[in-house]
Structure 1
Amino acid sequence: MAEQSVLQFKTMLGNLLKARFPCLYISTWEEERALQVIDKVVHDTELIRTTRKLFTWNLTDGIKGEGQSGKEETKTPLKALEFIEKYTEPAVFVLKDFHIFFGGQGRLPDFQVIRKIRNIIPALKLSTPKNIIFLSPTLILPKDLEKDVTVIDFELPSFLEIERLLDDMIDANRDNERITIELSDEEKERLAKAALGLTLQEAENAFARAMVENGRLCIKDMDIILEEKRQIIKKSEILEFIKSDLNMDDVGGLENLKRWLKKRDKSWLDSAQRYGLPAPKGVLITGVPGCGKSLIAKAVGATWQLPLLRLDIGKIYSGIVGSSEENMRRAIQTAEAIAPSILWIDEIEKGLSGMNSNGDSGTSTRIFGTFLTWMQEKKKPVFVVATANNIQSLPPELLRKGRFDEIFFVDLPTLRERMAIFEVHLKKRLHDEEVKGSFHLTEAVMERLAQKTESFVGAEIEQIVVAALFEAYSENRAIEEKDLYKAIDTMIPLAVTQAETIRAIREWANVRAVAATSQDYRVEYQQPSFPEKEEKSPAPAEDIRALRGGRTIDF
């Protein structure tokens, strides 16, 4: 499929040349690779009836090509265009970096050059087969030429091209005693897939760096590939590359959601295509604030070993007319360029808050429309993880099937989930034996702590552990179980202060979203048995226990 795109480009270019399209525009950073493909097309009698000579032009060398070593007098753009006009044999002229004469990026257009191009276009259509191809890393086209120039997309290297490059590098270093190759066929595929979105030069640099860094090439070198992709994101002001060392074991509970995600790991590999599986579109995670929605997004990136990009919708909006829509398109293009990747949109409802108002002249609606269309039609393996606290404010078009694969609701943690969260945070921090002292994290301790923290969210449990450690630190002693109880007693959970809000979220999710917590963890929801806590909790907490959100579906 990836190789098909290269063939499609050759076929399209051949057809445009045969049809005497006078001016074509290819925007790419891979100048040499594009020239190699163009060279194959202009000399292929199956693609074009009349083969053509290939000439190139740049500002420092002038026109060079078959029988032309570069002339001083053709270095200026006007002289180069005159040479093209007077040339009498079939030819294709590739003009490099000609966009600098078209204006944009703070430059004024060169109107003489633009006028000269328009003057010679009729002759290009009628005379001996001749075509001009503008080859540039930036697409800049003045309005005067919009009707005369055809823009062609030149895709980044396909998976097969990158795999071929990797094979060539492995073969070239197989007898090198200083480099060890430790890759199975599946691991080689994953490494090549991870390099999708890089140019061939960038991919070659990444593989070479992996080989020399520790004298071996293995699946652990995936981080080096991701580092190359991180360089692309650093140049974007809208997307942020998130580096996370978390994994699914660092997320307490939410077993249903974790199982669903685990089943979709590696779904972008060719092995999934044998089952006729499409790449998953994404997941929308809603629920009570502080229950681990953002944590899941970070864990997915690290577990799947894919680049995790965070889209700040606030950065999309710009005061210049049309810039906001362009920023959204650019963010989508960047995410697709380094696919397979994960696009994380945190608190998506805040970015779409202006949807039903006229205060922004419809900008929010247009941005939302661009995002919806992409979610529905996207072909590249970009997995979208969107989180929302107030899902009721999201438009219904976003929630229907076909946009996201599933909508999960993250509820207040159950007893077993609270035990798991305490275990994660205490084990993560209690490394020093002097700080740990006689404190032992047993099943009984975790159960006592979990029973005392009914209706507490994961973020609050983490702060309980932190507060207890501060208590021990302030007295320069080891932590004790009573420190944790003291922190619990002094904290008022969100379930009490925002009881009405949480109830409304839960009522919405009860029939519209799937519970992130598995059925066996949710037993206590139907049979609450914490009399001690019930006596101490204010009335709103009892109301919270009366209703649990999310449909019971186990994956």
Structure 2
Amino acid sequence: MKGLVQQIFDLIKLLNPLIAVESPLQERLKLLSSLTRECESQNLKCYLWSLEDDSLCQLQILEEKLTLNIVSEYQPITDKTRHEHYFEILRFWKTTPLQGILILEGIFPWIANNPDLLTSGWIKSALINLKLHNRNCNKTAILLGPNATLSYDIALLIPTLTQQLPTIEEISIYLREILPFFNPSEIHELAFAAVGLYMADIKYGIREAISEVDEIFAQELILQLLGYKIKLLKRVYDIEFLQPQSIKVGGLELMQESLKKYKRLMTPLALAYNLRIPKGVLLIGPPGTGKSYSAKVCSQLLGVPMIIVEWGNFRKSGNQAEYKLKKLLALVDRIDRIIFYLDDFDKGFAGDDDLGRRLAGMLLTWMQERTSNVLIIASANNLELLPPELTRCGRFDDIFKVDLPNNGERYEIFKIHLARFDRRFRNGGDAYSEEQWRRLLKETYRCVGAEIQAIVEKAAASTFCQMFPEVTNNHQHSQLPPLEITLTSLLEARQNINPLAIREADKVERMRNRASLQGLPSSPIDDSVYSHGNINIFS
């Protein structure tokens, strides 16, 4: 907050009579208090006007509290027959003998591509006149709001400042003040869990956690604050924030080898050699082949959290799409050491309109200029929908084709999902003969990982219903009979699923062929005992 206030007063010293400031609503009270304190230290008066009540108040700090006192010199127009009557404050500030800083709230929506052209034009003209008339009058007007978007015709006339998310160092200083009984290591862990939140959100999250118990330990507070952060980011940014998970993956060995290299490239030693992780990684292939799962595997291998974004959802935001993307990229930059996963990347360009290209331009500029240690992974089914500038060299450095799993990979995927229900498959165990596996793999030819998961889950549910034909609650958990999934139940479940690669064979083959032209293989040639080359046709 001190940094933002300092930037504001640096612009005031340069005789800027008009400044735009973007600050989140939750930080409003703290920002107003900080501005008022700085004004009082420099013998300046600070005023506040908001569109809500159309009244002018002087801000003062009395007994460490922010107070508002009505200024009688300003008389708003009571009979507001035209929209511009709501903004009489602009004409007043241009001519009044009052000096100091005037904070104006609620104006941004009217001057950022507002469809009411007459009112928007009047406000823009009033702001321009204000800038010209007050340039040497010791008067500064600050436009304040959570979204300081200005239309192109006045953007160059009004310098804009944005309140950034606090750094880990700033959060640590604040936490040491309010949690003096925690040691430095605990403070650092807590600050790392809180990064990506504004100070007001951190304060609320900690207060909420502490209020529920008489005494709280550092690890418990870290978990609660992290949970609060995950919920808040979902609500504000419509994203998923996932911690590294412990998961297993069947196949995709070549891609996993590349992912392990990224971990070494994120070390200070690699940075000392001017080496960095790729600008971006693109996963292409038919639906259900494990692209999203691969991103989670990368999070596990690198030991860093992951943000999942449905890229197509930006199109639903309309005029707010670019603002939301800008805020999200700022969040990702601030968190640092994170995977930024853009799911269904191609769907954001399905309309082939100007909005999709503007969003792509914002993303490419950020990818090119960023200095944060963020790994961008995007997944796409249809490569043809992506603009050519996104797939040329220097954009996504690594492009992997995530294809239909081969026999050996399907074998591994089956065992991973079978182990969830049938303990015979856990810890490397197996319950089927080689002949049984060959039959199952033949029947599931062209099935992808998601379809194999569905087959196993259907078979497990069918087996359970056969074991317990009637509803009962008499069984003790420790005495439950084991659930054993048979080959027959898996084959029956397979009959109820029509694989996409068979149902939409033409579309899937086009996706695979296009992916083969630009993508590196994710899997080596199948050398398992179940590969087609290992079948003994004379047995």
Q: Give the alignment's TM-score, normalised by structure 1.
A: 0.70
Mapping of 1:255-404 within 5 angstroms?
Answer: 255-262=253-260, 264=262, 278=276, 281-298=279-296, 304=303, 306=305, 308-313=307-312, 316=315, 323=318, 326-337=320-331, 339=333, 340=335, 342-355=339-352, 360=353, 362-379=354-371, 383-404=375-396
- Name the aligned partner's letter for residue 312 of structure 2: I
Query: Deviations for 1:238-292, whole angstroms, at most 9, x for unmatched residues?
Result: xx33366883524333244345445546988989866656565432112243221
Q: Once superposed, what is the RMSD of the aligned Cα atoms?
A: 4.8
Aligned to 1:422, the other structure's residue is in SS state: helix
1:16 aligned to 2:8? no
Q: 1-side partners of 2:108 and 2:514: how far apart?
A: 55
Aligned to 1:385, the other structure's residue is in SS state: strand
Contact conserved, 1:193 with 1:269, CA < 8 A, in 2? no
Q: 2-side partners of 1:271 and 1:58: how far apart?
A: 53
Which of the numbers 21, 24, 31 marks the counterpart of 1:26? 21
Q: 2-side partners of 1:110 and 1:495: how far apart?
A: 54
Q: CA deviation at 1:161?
A: 1.1
2:478 corresponds to which residue?
A: none
Aligned to 2:107, the other structure's residue is in SS state: helix
2:479 corresponds to which residue?
A: none
1:413 corresponds to which residue?
A: 405
1:481 aligned to 2:486? yes
Aligned to 1:225, the other structure's residue is in SS state: helix
2:222 corresponds to which residue?
A: 221
Contact conserved, 1:336 with 1:382, CA < 8 A, in 2? no
Q: CA deviation at 1:205?
A: 2.6
Contact conserved, 2:147 with 2:323, CA < 8 A, in 1? no
2:239 corresponds to which residue?
A: 241
1:160 corresponds to which residue?
A: 169
Contact conserved, 1:409 with 1:515, CA < 8 A, in 2? yes
1:465 corresponds to which residue?
A: 456
- Name the aligned partner's letter for residue 531 of structure 1: I
1:95 corresponds to which residue?
A: 103
Aligned to 1:429, the other structure's residue is in SS state: coil
Aligned to 1:475, the other structure's residue is in SS state: helix
Query: Deviations for 1:128-178, whole angstroms, at most 9, x for unmatched residues?
Result: x3322233334376899767543222322233211222333332x34xxxx
Q: 2-side partners of 1:197 and 1:82: how far apart?
A: 40
Q: 2-side partners of 1:334 and 1:75: how far apart?
A: 40
- Bigger drift between 201-210 and 374-383 goes to 374-383
| Cα pair distance change 1:34/1:450, threshold 3 Å | farther
1:442 aligned to 2:429? yes
Q: 1-side partners of 2:264 and 2:371: how far apart?
A: 16
Aligned to 1:408, the other structure's residue is in SS state: strand
- Bigger drift between 460-469 and 376-385 goes to 376-385
Q: 2-side partners of 1:245 and 1:101: how far apart?
A: 37
1:453 corresponds to which residue?
A: 441
Mapping of 1:74-153 within 5 angstroms?
Answer: 74=73, 82=92, 85-87=95-97, 92-97=100-105, 99=107, 121-127=131-137, 129-139=138-148, 149-153=158-162
Q: CA deviation at 1:302?
A: 7.4
Contact conserved, 1:159 with 1:193, CA < 8 A, in 2? yes
Contact conserved, 1:284 with 1:407, CA < 8 A, in 2? yes
The alignment covers a number of residue pairs equal to: 490
- Bigger drift between 456-465 and 480-489 goes to 480-489
| Cα pair distance change 1:283/1:244, threshold 3 Å | same
Q: CA deviation at 1:347?
A: 2.9
Q: CA deviation at 1:316?
A: 0.3
Q: CA deviation at 1:199?
A: 1.2
Q: CA deviation at 1:422?
A: 1.9
1:73 corresponds to which residue?
A: 72
Q: 2-side partners of 1:346 and 1:484: how far apart?
A: 33
Contact conserved, 1:97 with 1:137, CA < 8 A, in 2? no
Q: 2-side partners of 1:209 and 1:271: how far apart?
A: 40
Contact conserved, 2:287 with 2:381, CA < 8 A, in 1? yes
Aligned to 1:253, the other structure's residue is in SS state: coil
| Cα pair distance change 1:264/1:210, threshold 3 Å | farther
Q: Give the share of equivalent positions with the same residue, in percent.
A: 22
Q: 1-side partners of 2:485 and 2:239: how far apart?
A: 39
Gaps of 5+ in 2: 77-87, 469-482
Aligned to 2:453, the other structure's residue is in SS state: helix
Q: CA deviation at 1:200?
A: 0.8
2:519 corresponds to which residue?
A: 513
1:205 corresponds to which residue?
A: 204
Q: 2-side partners of 1:69 and 1:463: how far apart?
A: 62
Contact conserved, 1:343 with 1:382, CA < 8 A, in 2? yes
Q: 1-side partners of 2:278 and 2:168: how far apart?
A: 19
| Cα pair distance change 1:317/1:488, threshold 3 Å | closer
1:427 aligned to 2:426? no
| Cα pair distance change 1:397/1:266, threshold 3 Å | same
Q: 1-side partners of 2:267 and 2:426: how far apart?
A: 46
